[in-house]
């Protein structure tokens, strides 16, 4: 109860702050850059619309500055939702290491509010609902924050176009985005979006003190029907030299997943 | 040799204007390198790249996380940490702290991640949110919780609940010196803002970033007090001893140039100013003053004897050239051997001082004579004949008459004091490096008294298996270790992964305290851990406690403020416990900053053994060559090495605890104290060889020729080093004080023991025969 009150208060604050910020860019940034930034982000988002559902196998490789590494594997299932007010539903099902095999995390993403999350622990044979007021936290000890890997819906950020430049064999639009999420670990991000695929090629993350702390690089893009998917995401932490690779294989689309599969009660039956 | 020397001296005076111009240009050119000097402000500078302790600590930090931090410690004159007033401050500071440069993580009683359980719903959230709107009961509830939480209680919340801390983990990006300083300056500014906003609040600053900045503060303060103090001392000494304005100016220019040239060369060579190295200018000043006073007072003596000025300068230069050269070289050799230490500050101190001493020598035999030839110079005023000369004569007679007694007493005393030297205990605590005059030390003491100790031992508990930290056996051993550690009287706080997993087990079982235990299966522990990792916010992850493949966890033990001896005793007990209760060998040897420093002195002493031997051998060979006598060269080394050891004995009696300075004091002071013997023995041998005097008369001759000068040099050098004893950095202060004492002890040795040894082998009758016969003191020069 207290919590809800607090959150609503925060939202009000965010609204006020948002309104204020919406005015200030007029003074400092050209309105057309803000407009262009939003257009690029929207275009990027739209190219991905209509995939319905997908599954993929992800291998997560963690590396530290000393060169040691460890890996785990999980299957990620996604169900697209067409409303712009809510994000997609996802399930992450861990298959290795053995001691967490069968552990599944279900998220119902919201745009700026807290996601609903459930976790199924096979050792306990129970589903627990968990609070996820902490999107800024790392995803299972990796260099990816939870907020880095959830769906990047347009409404989560404010945008500003910075420049166009060559990236690899294509041209990229570079946009700056500022999180609307009060508890975000970042002050801003710079995103390179390829004009060929309209998918991100690189994202630079800036912490709350304004330092460039992490860089995420997308590589190995492949087209599945009309949808582009990166084969590998590499997040490098510039501060501590640690990095995490997310390597995707087995992309499948329209596999027939439905809302029923993305209910907390369904987690137990996943294998 | 002497022909060459005479030609050189003629040249210097004939081309005096060019000499002055050349010296000034060269000095300015060399000094320009000072622009490249930066101040090292990182505790790591004390440890060479190959230092195995540092390597171990770096590996540890690579496995878990870097350990640099800024620690704000807060206390109100009244009230507790969970009173609303303080809770508001902590919440405010916690939020602001994220904006500190290079901050990666903030930990406080407000953002501690507490897990709340309602049926099958788990919520992980900040312990304090919106402190200003919490009721006293709600705050009481959080306070009661905090006391049960091992990672808060006695770590960032004091035992009496009065004091609390906000810890900010720092990972420096870019140049560690400049970034570290930027972080510390920003932290101090943040503390000032908080103080302004919350009057009456006490904030003590702590953490490795603040300690590093302490080096800068200490260096700046020393530079502001010691260097001006040194100049003042120079002014007084030159005016009293030379009574000459010209002499003072010549000395002033010499000491300024020799310091700036030394620092300039250091800058060109890419050296940095570092703690300890910061006293190099003081040492250079001291030794350069001694050089100048030697030469100038000699010129004045010859003026008094009726010589024309240019002739007096030439004669003084001729007589002192070798002695000043040798004393400079021996000093430089002594200091250069500091390169055997792997602590960069010692290397820098050694090299910069060596450059400076050699620069001072060059200036003393080029610039000083050339410059003085232009300046009006008064002859030495007469009254020096007075008591000191008479006294020297008395000392000479006493020494000669009581030679055997002196030898016996001297040997017994020496042996006793050297034996005592070994009773000094090493007590190197990082926290003790700073004088109580400095804010950083006052803050450290405040934290020790009000919150917890500063020394942290870091253990890695290694399972050797991927995911092995979830095994119940591993966790049980860890938990037993933690329980045992918490029962030890030296321990303030222990943080370990077993506490996290036990709390999770309790949370997952309806928050039933009965489940505050290690989970039964590895799967359960692994899945709890995964769940927990999913729920932590930015910067509060477990990466600083668990390694990458979940095979090791970190265990940190904060101990009370106790001496190194007591720390070692504790560490030995830990080893004993581990041997008996950890058959798998999970517990790895400890590391951490405290241990690095605890081993630093011993490591440097070991490294400097070679350095000391080389210093003794090279200085000994130099003496033998200069004096053209193997036996007397040998004696001179012994009579100078012994005073150094005696000083340690005196230190044991009056102080007892010794720090890092102990490692280098031998090599550094040997080169300095040997100078007096050079002067004494040169004159003694001249008496024996050129004037065919017997031993006793040669000793009397040496006393009359240089006794006074030795007293003066000893006073100058002793005063210079005694001034360094006022440094705000303990190592500098001890170095200064130890050298000052050594200089005085060495003077007594030169006046008493050295002559007695020289007389060894002379029979009593011979010595009695000459007693009292030659009281015509100054034997006229040929």
Domain positions in chain B: 1-36+222-385, 51-206, 455-560
Q: Note whether B111 contacts A: Cβ–Cβ < 8 A.
A: no
Are A253 and A223 a contacting pair, CB within 8 Å?
no
Distance from CA of A171 to the nearest CA of B (A): 31
Instruction: Give the best residue of A101, A103, A124 to mutate against chain B (max B CB count within 10 A).
Output: A124
The tokens describing B248, both together, are: 């003072």
The tokens describing B397, both together, are: 């007679």
Q: Which residues pair with B461 in a beta bridge?
A: B553, B587
Q: Which residues pair with A194 in a beta bridge?
A: A172
pLDDT of residue A20: 46
- With residue B56 as reference, give the H or E element that holds it: helix B52-63
> DSSP per residue over B585-625, as a string?
--BPPPBSHHHHHHHHHHHHHHHHHHHHHHHHHHHHHHHHH
Contact B102 A129 (CB under 8 A): no
Instruction: Give the best residue of B530, B540, B544 to mutate against chain A (max A CB count within 10 A).
Output: B530
Which range has highest mean pLDDT (A82-86, A154-158, B71-75, B93-97)?
Answer: B71-75
pLDDT of residue A9: 41
Q: B132 to chain A: which residues are within 8 Å by CB? A: none
Distance from CA of B129 to the nearest CA of A (A): 9
Contact A70 B548 (CB under 8 A): yes
Tell me the CA distances in angstroms from B420 to A75, B646, B650, one per residue in order.
72, 9, 8
Q: B523 to chain A: which residues are within 8 Å by CB? A: 99-100, 122-123
pLDDT of residue B188: 96
Q: A133 to chain B: which residues are within 8 Å by CB? A: 123-125, 537
The tokens describing B780, both together, are: 């006229």
According to DSSP, the β-strands at A116-121 and A212-219 are unpaired
Which range has highest mean pLDDT (A69-73, A233-237, B401-405)?
Answer: A233-237
pLDDT of residue A14: 45
pLDDT of residue A40: 92
Contact A100 B121 (CB under 8 A): no
Q: Note whether B132 contacts A: Cβ–Cβ < 8 A.
A: no
Cα dihedral B762, B766, B772, B773 sign: negative
Residues of chain B with pLDDT > 90, as a percent, come to: 54
Instruction: Give the best residue of A138, A244, A264 to mutate against chain B (max B CB count within 10 A).
Output: A138
pLDDT of residue B415: 93
- With residue B196 as reference, give the H or E element that holds it: helix B176-197
Q: A140 to chain B: which residues are within 8 Å by CB? A: 530, 533-534
Q: How many domains does chain A have?
A: 1
**CA dihedral defined by B2, B4, B6, B12, rounded to 10 degrees?**
-140
pLDDT of residue B349: 95
Distance from CA of A231 to the nearest CA of B (A): 23
Distance from CA of B145 to the nearest CA of A (A): 19
pLDDT of residue B459: 97
C-alpha neighbours within 13 Å on the C-beta side of residue B511? 11
pLDDT one-digit tens code per residue, B574-620: 999 999 999 999 999 999 999 988 888 888 888 888 888 999 999 99
Which range has highest mean pLDDT (A46-50, A217-221, B604-608)?
Answer: A217-221
Residues of chain A with pLDDT > 70, as a percent, come to: 85
Instruction: Give the best residue of B529, B543, B552 to mutate against chain A (max A CB count within 10 A).
Output: B543
Tell me the CA distances in angstroms from A24 to A17, A112, A184, one per residue in order.
10, 21, 21
pLDDT of residue B675: 85
| CB contact residues (below 8 A), chain B span 253-282, against chain A | none
Lookup result for tokens 């599945």: A224
pLDDT of residue A3: 40
Backbone φ and ψ for B48, nearest 5 degrees, come out as: -65, 160
Q: B549 to chain A: which residues are within 8 Å by CB? A: 62, 68-70
Mention the CATH class of domain B1-36+222-385.
mainly alpha
Give the CA diameter of chain A. 57
CATH number at residue A264: 2.50.20.10
Give the separation between CA B666 and CA B742, rounded to whole angstroms: 9
Contact B549 A70 (CB under 8 A): yes
Domain extent for A127: 2-269
Give the separation between CA B500 and CA B151, rounded to whole angstroms: 9
Contact A208 B467 (CB under 8 A): no
Give the separation between CA B639 and CA A186, rounded to whole angstroms: 68
| CB contact residues (below 8 A), chain B span 518-577, against chain A | 521-528, 530-531, 533-543, 546-550
Backbone φ and ψ for B211, nearest 5 degrees, come out as: -65, -45
- DSSP E strands, B604-749: 657-658
In the predicted model, residues of chain B with pLDDT beneath 70 are 1, 380-386, 536-540, 761-782
Contact B549 A137 (CB under 8 A): no
pLDDT of residue B530: 87
pLDDT of residue B563: 85
pLDDT of residue B777: 39
Cα dihedral B667, B669, B672, B678 sign: negative
Q: Note whether B653 contacts A: Cβ–Cβ < 8 A.
A: no
């Amino acid at each position: 109860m207290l919590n809800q009150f607090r959150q609503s208060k925060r939202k009000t604050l965010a609204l006020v702050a948002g309104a204020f910020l919406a005015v200030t860019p007029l003074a400092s940034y050209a309105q057309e850059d803000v407009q262009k930034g939003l257009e690029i982000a929207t275009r990027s988002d739209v190219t991905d619309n209509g995939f319905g559902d997908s599954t993929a196998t992800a291998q997560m490789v963690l590396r530290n500055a000393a060169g040691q590494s460890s890996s785990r594997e999980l299957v990620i299932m996604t169900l697209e939702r067409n409303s712009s007010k809510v994000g997609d539903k996802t399930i992450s099902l861990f298959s290795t290491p053995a001691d967490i095999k069968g552990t599944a995390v279900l998220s119902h993403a919201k745009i700026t509010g807290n996601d609903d999350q459930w976790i199924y622990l096979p050792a306990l044979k129970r589903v627990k609902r968990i609070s996820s007021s902490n999107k800024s936290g790392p995803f299972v000890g990796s260099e990816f924050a939870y907020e880095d890997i959830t769906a990047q819906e347009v409404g989560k950020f404010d945008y500003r176009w910075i420049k166009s430049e060559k990236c690899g064999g294509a041209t990229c639009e570079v946009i700056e985005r500022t999180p609307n999420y009060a508890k975000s670990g970042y002050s801003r991000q710079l995103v390179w979006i390829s004009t060929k695929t309209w998918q991100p090629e690189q994202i630079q993350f800036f912490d709350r003190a304004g330092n460039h702390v992490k860089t995420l690089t997308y590589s190995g893009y492949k087209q599945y029907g009309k949808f582009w998917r990166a084969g590998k995401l590499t997040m490098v932490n510039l501060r501590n030299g640690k990095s995490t690779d997310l390597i995707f294989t087995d992309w499948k689309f329209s596999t027939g997943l439905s809302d029923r599969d993305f209910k907390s009660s369904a987690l137990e039956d996943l294998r | 040799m002497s022909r060459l020397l005479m030609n050189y001296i003629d040249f210097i005076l004939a081309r005096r204007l060019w000499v002055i111009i050349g010296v000034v240009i060269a000095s300015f050119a060399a000094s320009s390198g000072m622009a490249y000097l930066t101040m090292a402000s990182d505790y790591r500078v004390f440890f060479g790249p190959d230092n195995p302790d540092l390597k171990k600590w770096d590996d540890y930090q690579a496995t878990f996380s870097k350990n640099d931090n800024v620690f704000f410690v807060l206390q109100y004159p009244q009230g507790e940490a969970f009173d609303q007033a303080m809770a508001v401050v902590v919440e405010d500071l916690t939020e602001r702290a994220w904006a500190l440069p290079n901050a990666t993580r903030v930990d406080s009683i407000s953002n501690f991640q507490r897990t709340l359980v309602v049926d099958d719903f788990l919520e992980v959230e900040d312990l304090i949110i919106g402190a200003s709107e919490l009721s006293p009961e709600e705050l009481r509830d959080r306070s009661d919780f905090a006391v049960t939480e091992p990672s808060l209680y006695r770590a960032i919340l004091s035992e009496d609940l009065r004091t609390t801390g906000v810890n900010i983990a720092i990972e420096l990006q870019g140049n560690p010196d400049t970034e570290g300083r930027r972080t510390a300056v920003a932290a101090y500014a943040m503390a000032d803002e908080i103080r302004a906003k919350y009057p009456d609040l006490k904030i003590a600053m702590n953490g490795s970033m603040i300690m590093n900045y302490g080096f800068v503060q200490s260096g700046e303060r020393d530079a502001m007090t010691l260097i001006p103090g040194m100049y003042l001392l120079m002014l007084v000494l030159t005016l009293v001893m030379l009574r000459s304005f010209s002499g003072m100016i010549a000395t002033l220019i010499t000491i300024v140039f020799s310091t700036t040239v030394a620092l300039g060369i250091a800058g060109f060579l890419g050296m940095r100013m570092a703690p300890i190295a910061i006293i190099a200018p003081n040492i250079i000043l001291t030794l350069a003053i001694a050089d100048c006073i030697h030469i100038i007072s000699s010129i004045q003596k010859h003026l008094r004897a009726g010589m024309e000025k240019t002739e007096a300068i030439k004669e003084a230069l001729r007589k002192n050239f070798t002695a000043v050269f040798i004393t400079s070289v021996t000093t430089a050799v002594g200091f250069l051997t500091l390169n055997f230490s792997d602590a960069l500050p010692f290397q820098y101190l050694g090299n910069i001082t060596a450059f400076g001493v050699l620069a001072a020598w060059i200036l003393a035999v080029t610039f000083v004579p050339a410059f003085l030839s232009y300046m009006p110079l008064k002859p030495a005023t007469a009254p020096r004949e007075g008591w000191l000369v008479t006294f020297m004569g008395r000392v000479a007679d006493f020494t000669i008459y009581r030679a055997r007694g002196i030898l016996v007493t001297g040997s017994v005393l020496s042996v006793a004091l050297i034996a005592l030297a070994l009773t000094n205990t090493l007590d190197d605590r990082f926290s003790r490096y700073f004088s109580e005059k400095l804010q950083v030390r006052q803050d450290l003491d405040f934290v020790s008294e009000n919150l917890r100790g500063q020394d942290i031992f870091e253990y890695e508990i290694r399972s050797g298996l991927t995911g092995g930290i979830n095994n119940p056996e591993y966790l049980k051993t860890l938990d037993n270790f933690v329980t045992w550690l918490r029962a030890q009287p030296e321990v303030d706080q222990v943080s370990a992964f077993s506490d996290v997993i036990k709390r999770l087990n309790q949370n997952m079982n309806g928050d039933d305290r009965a489940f505050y235990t290690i989970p039964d299966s590895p799967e359960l522990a692994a899945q709890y851990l995964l769940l927990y990792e999913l729920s932590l916010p930015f910067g509060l992850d477990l990466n600083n406690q668990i390694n990458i493949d979940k095979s090791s966890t970190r265990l940190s033990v904060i101990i009370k403020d106790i001496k190194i001896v007591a720390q070692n005793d504790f560490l030995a007990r830990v080893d004993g416990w581990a041997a008996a209760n950890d058959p798998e060998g999970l517990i790895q040897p400890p590391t951490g900053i405290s241990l690095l420093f605890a081993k630093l002195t011993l490591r440097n002493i070991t490294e400097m053994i070679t350095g000391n031997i080389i210093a003794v051998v090279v200085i000994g060979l130099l003496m033998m060559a200069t004096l053209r006598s193997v036996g007397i060269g040998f004696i001179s080394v012994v009579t100078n090495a012994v005073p150094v050891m005696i000083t340690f004995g005196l230190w044991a009696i009056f102080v007892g605890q010794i720090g890092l300075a102990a490692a280098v004091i031998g090599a550094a002071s040997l080169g300095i104290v040997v100078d007096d013997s050079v002067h004494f023995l040169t004159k003694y041998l001249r008496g024996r060889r050129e004037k065919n005097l017997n031993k006793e008369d040669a000793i009397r001759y040496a006393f009359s020729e240089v006794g006074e000068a030795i007293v003066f040099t000893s006073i100058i050098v002793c005063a210079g080093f005694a001034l360094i004893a006022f440094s705000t950095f303990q190592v500098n202060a001890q170095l200064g004080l130890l050298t000052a004492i050594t200089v005085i002890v060495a003077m007594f040795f030169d006046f008493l023991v050295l002559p007695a040894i020289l007389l060894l082998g002379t029979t009593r009758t011979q010595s009695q025969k000459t007693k009292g016969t030659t009281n015509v003191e100054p034997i006229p020069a040929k």
